[in-house]
């Protein structure tokens, strides 16, 4: 939820003055001389070869480590035309005046224009939207070049504080986009060990307050996984739910006998989902406001589903405990949690209604992005595939087959003429999702049988005989679908509209009449969407 930022630091100017940082650490003549000497080394032919140095770059020595043989390891901060370059720091190895090597993360000579579009006040407000508490003070607000991830960009560095939080935000000075958020509070014992049911032994951020451990992730917006204790989800449920306490920072024992194993799976999968959206799509949480999600695992939904269900409702995720007698484990796999998380993304963007064609698109979006979470995580114990939640059923069979939805006995391989009708039992959103799922598989992989179903022929994978369809790859397909969902689809979009919207999205991303745009059109035709 967005928060109102009350700016307590008066007089934040519309544009901050660019102040020189060269020599900021040269408090004495010796330090200044050392900086000058190393800059001269870096200007040598070898220095120019080893270092990604733009003509506007300068370097200041921050610290020095000297080996017994006299070799120096000089840690240096980079500035560009007077602005600090965040992520541009280097370590220079020097021995007796000879440059021996350079360690750096920033590659390339490209630097941004130093003309902001946003004012400092606007950047502070944007940062405040992502702050997890109530802003009490603005400790820093200045222009920098942010090079921590990808192409360097002109950004505002904004540091916000309250009693429990101290976060530095980097806000793109051109468009207000959040580039990064760095907490300045380094908590002790901030990581725990999860002995999960399906993903092996993993390490993840947790919370330790006093002697109480819980599955709370400060690094991902406050994601919080709680134990439903197999209680029925009703008005009294929240009073009965508790934390998964862990034991000295360890959760679970890889079995369902220990409820903490379920919590560990959910906490890990939620973190991996957050990371997928952040790293691939630049999205910070389901609502893109850096606020985490509350998850209740190990819950009972009552008859007829009992513990065999997952649900997203009002910004909260609920996960059932499964049904051991039926061979169904707790609902806490990577793609399942990615699926439910994506319902939150959908409700924060397109708001696709849960019936008819839009209901099918809603469910398909969750299957698509949940599957991409699985591929992005690439956990060896949960090999990525186009099967939906196969691990929940002990790898015996999935809830859905994206490439051949009709395998489950009720989902649709091809769009029916006239579309899916609200109120028709056979057109349930899960069944209607088959069309979108198959479209995505064909867009990414083409009319090729997957390893999980080698018996399928190209003709069986398409509805129109287009057996020569070649996919464009998962990465491009996911970017096209994410853009379609978040920037194009409407609350009542049907499948034909989704076709038009995704063709437009592909053109914006990869060019009009590009092979990517043409393949989007062919993939929709291959599932009978006109």
The set of catalytic residues is 340, 430
Rounded distance between C-alpha atoms, residue 447 and residue 456, angstroms: 10
Q: Which helix (H) or strand (E) holds 170?
A: strand 166-172
Rounded to whole angstroms, how far apart are CA atoms 28 and 32?
6
- Of 231, 186, 191, nearest to 213 (Cα)? 191
Q: Enter the tokens of residue 202.
A: 């993993």
- Rounded CA separation 501/508 (Å): 11
Name the 3-class secondary structure at 260. helix
**Three-state SS for 1?**
coil
Partners of residue 52 on adjacent β-strands: none
C-alpha to C-alpha distance for 237 and 323, rounded to whole angstroms: 20
DSSP letters spanning 340-404: HHHHHHHHHTT---SSHHHHHHHHHHHHHHHHHHHHHH--TTS---SEESGGGGTTS--SEESSS
CA distance 253 to 257: 8
Q: Are 260 and 191 in contact (CB under 8 A)?
A: no
C-alpha span between 454 and 306 (Å, rounded): 34
Residue 119 to residue 141: CA distance in whole angstroms: 11
Comparing C-alpha atoms, which of 416, 413, 394, 417 is closest to residue 402? 413
Peptide bond into 321 cis (omega under 30): no
Contact 244, 184 (CB under 8 A): no
In the structure encoding, which two tokens stand for residue 117, read together? 């579009």
């Amino acid at each position: 939820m967005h928060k109102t930022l009350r700016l307590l630091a008066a007089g934040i100017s519309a544009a901050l003055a660019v102040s020189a940082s060269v020599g900021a650490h040269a408090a004495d003549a010796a330090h200044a001389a050392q900086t000058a000497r190393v800059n001269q080394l870096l200007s040598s032919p070898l220095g120019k070869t080893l270092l990604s140095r733009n003509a506007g770059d300068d370097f200041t020595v921050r610290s020095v480590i000297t080996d017994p043989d006299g070799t120096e390891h000089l840690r240096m901060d980079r500035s560009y035309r007077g602005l600090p370059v965040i992520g541009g720091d280097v370590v220079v190895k020097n021995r007796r005046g000879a440059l021996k090597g350079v360690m750096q993360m920033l590659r390339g000579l490209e630097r941004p224009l130093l003309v902001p579009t946003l004012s400092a006040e606007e950047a502070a407000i944007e940062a405040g939207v992502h702050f997890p508490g109530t802003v009490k003070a603005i400790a820093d607000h200045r222009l920098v070049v942010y090079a921590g991830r990808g192409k360097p960009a002109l950004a505002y560095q904004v540091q916000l504080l309250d009693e429990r939080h101290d976060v530095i935000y980097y806000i793109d000075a051109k468009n207000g986009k959040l580039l990064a958020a760095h907490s300045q509070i380094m908590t002790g014992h901030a990581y725990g060990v999860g002995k999960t049911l399906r993903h092996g032994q993993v390490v993840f951020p947790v919370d330790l307050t006093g002697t109480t451990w819980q599955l709370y992730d400060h690094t991902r917006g406050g994601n919080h996984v709680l134990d439903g204790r197999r209680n029925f989800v009703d008005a009294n449920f929240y009073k009965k739910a508790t934390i998964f306490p862990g034991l000295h920072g360890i959760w679970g024992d890889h079995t369902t006998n220990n409820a903490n194993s379920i919590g560990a799976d959910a906490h890990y999968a939620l973190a991996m989902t957050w990371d997928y959206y952040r790293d691939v799509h630049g999205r910070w949480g389901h609502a893109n406001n850096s606020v985490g999600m509350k998850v209740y695992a190990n819950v009972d939904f009552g008859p007829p589903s009992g513990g065999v269900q997952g649900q997203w409702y009002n910004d909260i995720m609920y996960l059932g405990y499964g049904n051991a007698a039926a061979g169904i484990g707790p609902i806490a796999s990577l793609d399942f949690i990615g699926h439910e998380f994506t319902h939150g993304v959908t409700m924060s963007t397109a708001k696709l209604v849960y019936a008819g064609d839009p209901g099918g698109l809603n469910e398909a979006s969750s299957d698509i992005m949940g599957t991409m979470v699985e591929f992005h995580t690439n956990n060896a114990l949960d090999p990525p595939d186009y099967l939906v939640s196969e691990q929940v059923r002990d790898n015996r069979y999935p809830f859905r087959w994206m490439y051949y939805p009709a395998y489950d006995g009720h989902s649709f391989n091809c769009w029916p003429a006239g579309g899916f009708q609200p109120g028709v039992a056979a057109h349930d959103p899960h069944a209607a999702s088959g069309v979108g799922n198959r479209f995505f598989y064909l867009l990414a992989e083409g009319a090729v049988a997957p390893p999980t179903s080698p018996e399928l022929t190209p003709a069986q994978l398409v509805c129109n005989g287009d057996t020569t369809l070649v996919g464009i790859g998962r990465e491009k397909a996911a970017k096209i679908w994410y853009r379609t969902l978040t920037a194009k689809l409407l609350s009542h979009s049907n499948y034909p509209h989704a076709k038009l919207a995704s063709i437009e999205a592909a053109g914006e991303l990869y060019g009009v009449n590009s092979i990517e745009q043409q393949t989007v059109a062919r993939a929709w035709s291959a599932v009978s969407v006109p």
